């Protein structure tokens, strides 16, 4: 859309978000706490970090929380009463600073969560959250979003898109809701001129050349003939089965469901689960189709880079590099996959 573009001074961002938060929105921002960058609800006076590497814990925690209540129940006599837990988001929320890769990750999760049945808990949070995305200026050591077509720029699926072009943010408008947001605080926005637009393009170009890692995506098709490649075993031998690569992945969406009863009242809740864990596929009696760690390792990689694409037409990996960051034994996704597919 040939929308107008704007700029915001870096120094104004905190006040801008403060004003938005005073309107009807909850605002979530990247901020520093205990030395690391995290997404947290914005509070007055909170430092919003703008030139940061991506937070390790991905924003999926606000759409598919690590633990989320599904159903509340009460045991009564021979039966029970049950109702939908109020874990859904009924107010509007603004997520500021989300990176292009993580926006793509939400687009990934949208697909299964709309497939055949709607996952209303997730979809409601999606619908009620405005995406104020921010393009990346500093790819992390393990980032490869550019290889996956998921960064460093973002084409759509945002309400507003910011780019840090020095002492100001360049703002692209993606939706009417995004434009409305600007209209609630017009005093912070200036109209962008050609020079600003140029600065933005130059910035994106510059970042594109900064990636240290590239996944040879053209050769990913070879994976289907690599099921018996010995590298999988090499990776499995190293893996300490922490599940971290699943938990931390912005596009991993698998969950477990458990009941917790306190007296007569209880809650059925779901929590992040992962295909790297042995119990994920074990069935009653002990039979397990993916008993060996190497089978689980393959499931994760093939699901990410082949199966999901075959079903939904896009890869389930956005190249954020978190699974490598979080892996205690440093199983580097790009290095190993390139090795397997004979990539660069």
Partner 1 sequence: MEKVITTCPYCGSGCSYFLCVEDGKVIGVAPNRVHPISKGRLCVKGWNAHEFVHHPGRLTKPLIRKGGNLVEASWDEALDMVANRLKGIKEKSGSDSIGVLSSAKCTNEENFVMMKFARAVIGTNNVDHCARLCHASTVAGLARAFGSGAMTNSIDELEHADVILVTGSNTIEQHPLIAVRILKAVRDHGAKLILVDPRSIQLSKFAVIHAKHKPGTDVAWINGVMNVIINEGLADEEFIKTRTEGFEEMKKLVMDYTPEKVEEITTIPADTIREIARTYARASAASIVYSMGITQHTTGTDNVLSCANLAMITGNVGKPSTGVNPLRGQNNVQGACDLGALPVVYSGYQSVADENVRKKFSEAWGAEMPSAPGLTVVEMVNAAADGKLKGLYIMGENPMLSDPDLSHVKEGLEKLEFLVVQDIFLTETAELADVVLPAESYAEKTGTFTNTERRVQLVNKAVEAPGEARPDWDIVSDVARRMGYDMKYNSAEDIMTEINKLTPSYTGITYQRIRENWGLAWPCPTLDHPGTPYLHKDKFTRGLGSFHAVPFKPPAEETDDEYPFILSTGRMLEHFHTGTMTRRSDTLDREVPKGFIEMNPKDADAIGVRNNWPVRVTTRRGSVVTTARVTDGIPEKMLFMPFHFREAAANMLTNPALDPIAKIPEFKVCAATVEGVQ
Partner 2 sequence: MASEYLPKQAEILSVKKETADTSRFRMKFVDPADREAFEYQPGQFVEISVMGAGEVPISITSSPLIDKGYFELCIRDTGKVTREIHKLGEGDIVGIRGPYGNSFDIKSMQGKEVLFVVGGLGLAPLRPVINGVVASRDEYKGVKILYGARTPGDMLFNEDLDEWSKIDGVEVLTTVDRADDSWKGNVGVVPKLFEKTEIEPKKTVAVICGPGIMIKFVMKDLLGMGFKEKDIWLTMERHMKCGIGKCGHCNIGTKYVCIDGPVFTFDQIKDLPDPY
Residues that bind ligand SF4 (CB under 6 A): 239-245, 249-251, 276, 304, 317-323, 326-329, 331, 333
Interface with ligand FAD, residue 283, by CB under 6 A? yes
Residue 170 contacts residue 199 (beta carbons within 8 Å): yes
For 86, how many CA atoms within 13 A lie in the half-sphere containing its CB? 2
155-176: burial string, b at 16+ Cβ within 10 Å, e else = eebbbbbbbbbeebbbbbbbbe
Which one of 35, 91, 195, 227 is in contact with partner 2 (CB under 8 A)? Answer: 227
Q: How far is CA 281 from CA 182, 223, 275, 277, 299, in A?
A: 48, 23, 8, 8, 11
- The answer for residues whose C-beta is within 8 angstroms of residue 201's C-beta and 6 or more apart is none
Q: Which of residues 254-313 bind partner 2 (CB under 8 A)?
A: 254-259, 261, 266, 268, 270, 273, 275, 280-285, 287, 289-290, 295, 298-299, 302-303, 307, 310-311
Q: Which of residues 21-40 bind partner 1 (CB under 8 A)?
A: 33-36, 38, 40
CB closer to ligand FAD, 213 vs 296: 296
Q: How far is the CB of 246 from ligand SF4 (least distance, A)?
A: 7
Q: How far is the CB of 198 from ligand SF4 (least distance, A)?
A: 31
Q: Which of residues 165-224 bind partner 2 (CB under 8 A)?
A: none
Q: How far is the CB of 160 from ligand SF4 (least distance, A)?
A: 23
Number of residues that bind ligand FAD (CB under 6 A): 2
Residue 246 contacts residue 275 (beta carbons within 8 Å): yes
| Among partner 2, ligand FAD, partner 1, none, residue 1 binds (CB under 5-8 Å by kind) | none
Name the one residue in this structure whose structure tokens are 């100001």: 168
Which one of 118, 138, 156, 208 is in contact with partner 2 (CB under 8 A)? Answer: 118
Number of residues that bind partner 2 (CB under 8 A): 52
Segment contacting partner 1 by CB under 8 A, of 109-117, 202-210, 219-227, 268-276? 268-276
Compute the distance between CA of residue 54 and CA of residue 48 in angstroms, rounded to an integer. 13
CB closer to ligand SF4, 94 vs 215: 215
| Among partner 1, ligand FAD, ligand SF4, none, residue 66 binds (CB under 5-8 Å by kind) | partner 1
Which one of 25, 42, 63, 73 is in contact with partner 2 (CB under 8 A)? Answer: 73
| Among partner 1, partner 2, ligand SF4, none, residue 84 binds (CB under 5-8 Å by kind) | partner 2
Q: How far is the CB of 113 from ligand SF4 (least distance, A)?
A: 16
Residue 101 contacts residue 145 (beta carbons within 8 Å): yes
Compute the distance between CA of residue 222 and CA of residue 102 in angstroms, rounded to an integer. 26
Q: How far is the CB of 329 from ligand SF4 (least distance, A)?
A: 5
Structure tokens at 167: 């002492």
Q: How far is the CB of 241 from ligand FAD (least distance, A)?
A: 18
């Amino acid at each position: 859309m040939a929308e107008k573009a704007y700029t915001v001074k870096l120094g104004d961002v905190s006040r801008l978000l403060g004003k938005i938060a005073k309107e009807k929105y909850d605002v979530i921002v990247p901020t520093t706490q205990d030395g690391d960058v995290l997404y947290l609800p914005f509070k007055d006076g909170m430092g919003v970090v703008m030139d940061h590497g991506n937070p390790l814990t991905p924003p999926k925690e606000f759409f598919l929380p690590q633990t989320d209540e599904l159903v509340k129940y009460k045991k009564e006599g021979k039966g029970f009463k049950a109702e939908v837990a109020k874990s859904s988001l009924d107010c509007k929320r603004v997520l500021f600073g989300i990176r292009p890769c993580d926006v793509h990750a939400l687009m990934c999760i949208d697909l299964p969560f709309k497939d055949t049945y709607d996952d209303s808990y997730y979809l409601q949070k999606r619908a009620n959250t405005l995406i104020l995305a921010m393009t990346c200026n500093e790819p992390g050591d393990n980032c490869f979003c550019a290889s996956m077509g998921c960064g460093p720029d973002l084409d759509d699926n945002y309400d507003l898109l910011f780019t840090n072009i020095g002492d100001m943010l360049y703002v692209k408008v993606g939706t009417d809701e995004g434009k409305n947001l600007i209209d609630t605080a017009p005093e912070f926005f200036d109209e962008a001129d050609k020079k600003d637009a140029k600065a933005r393009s130059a910035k994106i170009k510059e970042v594109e050349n900064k990636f240290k890692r590239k996944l040879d995506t053209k050769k990913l098709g070879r994976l289907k003939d690599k099921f018996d490649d010995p590298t999988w075993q090499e990776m499995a031998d190293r893996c300490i089965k922490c599940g971290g690569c699943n938990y931390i992945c912005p596009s991993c969406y698998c969950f477990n469901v458990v009941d917790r009863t306190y007296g007569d009242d209880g809650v059925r809740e779901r929590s992040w689960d992962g295909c790297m864990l042995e119990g994920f596929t074990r069935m009653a009696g002990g039979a397990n189709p993916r008993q060996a760690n190497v089978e689980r390792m393959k499931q994760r990689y093939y699901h990410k880079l082949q199966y999901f694409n075959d079903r939904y037409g896009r890869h389930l990996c956005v190249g954020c590099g978190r699974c490598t960051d979080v892996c205690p034994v440093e199983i580097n996704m790009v290095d190993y996959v390139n090795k397997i597919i004979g990539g660069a």
